Each structure stands twice: as C-alpha cells, then as structure tokens.
C-alpha cells in the first residue's frame, strides 16, 4: 500500500484489509466465547477418572489437559477476545494481527500435533492475522532495531464522501465492538453456564460387594468393577457417567435424577475404536441408590445389586490440593 499508487488502488487495498479483519473477527468469536464460558473443552469431571491414557485419542488428551484448569481455558478465550477487539480499530489492527499470529499459531501447532480436525482453519486464521499485521511490520522492525519509526501510516478514507465518512468512522468501530461483545450476553442464555450437582451421589467408586458370580473367563466377565458419577450438569440437566467392567471394557453414559434416590441412566455401547460426537443410546435403565451408615453406596437396578466405596486413588487428580510453597514433586 505505497503512497505512489493510485488512490483507488490504495482504497481498494485498505477495503480488502478491513474485510479480512471482519472475517477474522467473526471466525474468532465462537471459539473465544466458548472458552470463556467453559463450553469448548468443558470441565474435567469424576467421569474422566476411569479413562486410561491409552484409551484417549490425541484430541481427547488435549481437551482433558485444557479442561483440568478453567483458568487456563478462560485466559485463552480472553486472549482471543482481545485480538478480536484490537482488529476492530484500524489503528490497533496491526497489534491484534501480531498477537493473533502468535496465539493462533500456537493453536495451529496444537491442532496439528494432537490431530484436531480444525487444523486447516487454525492455519488459515494464523495466515490471515499475519496479513493484517503486514502493513505495519516494517515500522515494528525499525522500532525493534532502535531506528526512527516515523508517524502513523496515512490511510485514505474508504468513502469519498466526507459527511458519510465522518459518521462511518465512528459508527463502524462501534458496531464492531458490539459484534464482539454481543455473544457474551447471548452465549449463557443459549448454552447456559456450568452448574454443579447438589446430589451426594457424584464421585468415583470401586465395587466392594457384588453377589453375582464371576464369569468362567475374564474376557467374558461383565460385572461392574468401577463406577464414576460426574458432578457437572449439562444443558439437559444430565451428568456424565462411566463404568469400568471386570473384563476391562469401558462404558460411557449420562445420568439424571428422576426422584429422590433414583437416577435414569442412558448407556452408550462399549468404547471401541473411533466414535462420533453424536452417538445412539444403547439402553436406558433406572438405578436406585442410598448412602449407608458406613459411607458406602448401595446401588441397585439393571441387574445390579452393588455396594460402592469411594476410591481415593481413582479420584486423586480431583482431590490433589494446590501448594505455592516448594514441596516434593508428585509426578504420578
């Protein structure tokens, strides 16, 4: 965008620059607000306790890492929101482009190495943000080198009518800010905020009593060995559930209370191979539960008559306290 180029060409170049910024803002917002409201990666829940590392997909491993720390997830979303706000204004768009190139470059690298399907989109956004920053990169390079940077680049008005331009120069940025912030109001209304169950049932349990006889072969033993009831409610009011069978199979599901001491459980097929995001429920059962005087949980229904005991080893990740003072590293 050199000054010796015709005025119409300079106007066209900056118009395309503005259009690219708009496209980038619209593309960033869903991911940014989803992180802020903890709906993209969610929250690590008790139901995650029964997965082994080997059962996770690369993407699932990354999602679990991000979901463990809500603070990291929210800060990542706020960083993307900051980039979107900076892109609204022409004078700060270069800074948004630079920050966004770094932020989305990291996202692209993670998507690439953890095989997240949107790696192509992340690459396109990274390149687009770099293009937004390009007009000011020579000045940034001179600043870093300690050389004079000169004044701001003179950008010709995109609209040739002075009165229209006088209104548009304020109206367009105002609409841009509204575009960035509006989803922050609507997102909780549509997706809701994470809510914690008030029930005493959520936890990670090991089966300590089961009257059912074992199968002749371990591979055919489908008795429940471990059960994890999640504590975070989804948009439908249901929480996640996982069951580890004696033969090693893992069953995922969701449960929701129907009345005191009774939950309805939707069970999916045994976890095996690739799975789609939307799955068909294999069967729905009702389970009754009550906490016994010794703290164990009696669970009945769907052919089960079990006694469950909370397992501190299986929920170690959730019970581990934070410590600022130097301590012996615990890397298990």
Element (H, E) at 245: strand 239-245
For residue 1, being part of any structural domain is answered with no
Q: Are 263 and 226 in contact (CB under 8 A)?
A: no
For residue 315, being part of any structural domain is answered with yes
65 and 181 share a domain? yes
For residue 11, being part of any structural domain is answered with yes
Q: Are 10 and 156 in contact (CB under 8 A)?
A: yes
32 and 178 share a domain? yes
The answer to whether residue 131 scores a pLDDT higher than 50 is: yes
Element (H, E) at 26: helix 7-36
pLDDT by residue (tens digit) across 263-298? 999 999 999 988 888 889 999 999 999 999 999 999
pLDDT of residue 193: 79
Domain boundary among 191, 209, 225: 191
For residue 47, being part of any structural domain is answered with yes
Among 88, 84, 48, residue whose Cα is nearest residue 67: 48
Cα dihedral 135, 137, 142, 143 in deg (nearest 10): 110
Q: What is the CATH number of the domain that holds 286?
A: 2.40.128
pLDDT of residue 1: 45
Range of the domain at 307: 196-319
122 and 155 share a domain? yes
DSSP code of residue 312: T
Q: Are 208 and 296 in contact (CB under 8 A)?
A: yes
Among 244, 249, 243, 246, residue whose Cα is nearest residue 214: 246
For residue 225, being part of any structural domain is answered with yes
Number of domains in the chain: 2
pLDDT of residue 163: 65
151 and 14 share a domain? yes
pLDDT of residue 59: 94
CA distance 307 to 298: 5
53 and 180 share a domain? yes
Of 141 and 47, the one with more pLDDT: 47
26 and 172 share a domain? yes
CB atoms inside a 10 Å sphere around CB 188: 13
34 and 148 share a domain? yes
Q: Are 254 and 265 in contact (CB under 8 A)?
A: yes
148 and 32 share a domain? yes
Which two three-digit tokens encode residue 46?
């008790």
Element (H, E) at 264: strand 262-270
74 and 185 share a domain? yes
pLDDT of residue 326: 76
For residue 328, being part of any structural domain is answered with no
The answer to whether residue 152 scores a pLDDT higher than 60 is: no
What is the reported pTM?
0.83
Q: Are 110 and 116 in contact (CB under 8 A)?
A: yes
131 and 54 share a domain? yes
For residue 329, being part of any structural domain is answered with no
What does the buried/exposed string (b/e) look like for 125-138 if buried means 16 or more CB atoms within 10 Å of the residue's CB?
bbebbbbbbebbee
pLDDT by residue (tens digit) across 226-266? 999 999 998 888 999 999 999 999 999 999 999 999 999 99
169 and 22 share a domain? yes
Residue indicated by tokens 């294999």:
282
Domain boundary among 141, 174, 191: 191
Q: Mean pLDDT, the chain, as a whole number?
A: 88
CA distance 8 to 44: 54
């Amino acid at each position: 965008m050199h000054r010796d180029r015709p005025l119409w060409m300079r106007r066209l170049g900056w118009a395309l620059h503005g259009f690219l910024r708009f496209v980038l803002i619209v593309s960033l917002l869903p991911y940014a607000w989803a992180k802020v409201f903890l709906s993209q990666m969610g929250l690590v829940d008790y139901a995650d306790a029964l997965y082994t590392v080997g059962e996770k997909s690369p993407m699932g491993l990354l999602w679990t890492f991000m979901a463990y720390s809500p603070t990291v997830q929210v800060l990542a979303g706020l960083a993307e929101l900051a980039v979107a706000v900076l892109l609204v204004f022409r004078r700060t768009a270069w800074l948004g482009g630079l920050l966004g190139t770094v932020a989305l470059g990291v996202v692209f690298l993670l998507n690439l190495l953890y095989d997240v399907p949107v790696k192509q989109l992340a690459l396109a956004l990274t390149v687009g943000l770099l293009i937004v920053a390009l007009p000011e990169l020579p000045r940034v390079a001179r600043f870093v080198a300690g050389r004079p940077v000169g004044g701001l680049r003179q950008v010709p008005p995109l609209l040739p009518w002075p009165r229209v331009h006088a209104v548009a120069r304020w109206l367009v940025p105002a609409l841009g800010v509204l575009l960035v912030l509006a989803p922050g109001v609507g997102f909780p209304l549509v997706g809701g905020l994470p809510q914690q169950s008030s029930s005493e049932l959520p936890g990670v349990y090991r089966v300590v009593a089961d009257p059912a006889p074992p199968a002749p072969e371990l591979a055919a033993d489908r008795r429940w060995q471990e059960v994890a009831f999640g504590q975070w409610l989804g948009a439908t009011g249901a929480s996640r559930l996982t069951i580890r069978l004696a033969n090693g199979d893992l069953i995922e599901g969701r449960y929701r209370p129907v009345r005191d001491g009774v939950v309805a459980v939707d069970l999916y097929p045994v976890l095996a191979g690739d799975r789609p995001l939307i799955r068909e429920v294999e069967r729905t059962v009702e389970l009754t539960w009550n906490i016994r005087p010794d703290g164990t949980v009696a669970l009945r229904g769907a052919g089960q008559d079990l006694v469950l005991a909370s397992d501190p080893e299986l929920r170690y990740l959730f019970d581990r306290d934070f410590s600022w003072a130097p301590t012996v590293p615990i890397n298990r």
